[in-house]
Amino acid sequence: IIDIAVAVIYFFNILFNVFILTLELISSPAKSEVLIMLFTLFPTGLIFIVNISSLIMQEKLNNIWNKVQ
């Protein structure tokens, strides 16, 4: 349950950062710092997706293992 809570918090943090950076890009010309921050969110998002999918698979495998026992 703690892993899922951390994942949800992390997910909303990524969404919030993308929202703020998008507002920053709309309001002013693109600065290199803002673009670098935006592009660093993509690998972070990929890590997030892999982490969540591994948690889901771990839960499913635990359920299968419990049924076998």
pLDDT per position as a tens digit, 4-45: 777 788 788 888 888 887 787 777 776 777 777 777 777 777
Residue 1: pLDDT band with limits 50, 70, 90: low
Q: Helix 2-27 and helix 32-68: axis angle, to 10°?
A: 160
- Give the span between the Cα atoms of 30 and 14, in whole angstroms: 20
Residue 62: is its pLDDT beyond 80? yes
pLDDT of residue 57: 85
- Total structural domains within the chain: 1
HEC letters along 8-52: HHHHHHHHHHHHHHHHHHHHCCCCHHHHHHHHHHHHHHHHHHHHH
Residue span of the structural domain in which 47 resides = 2-68
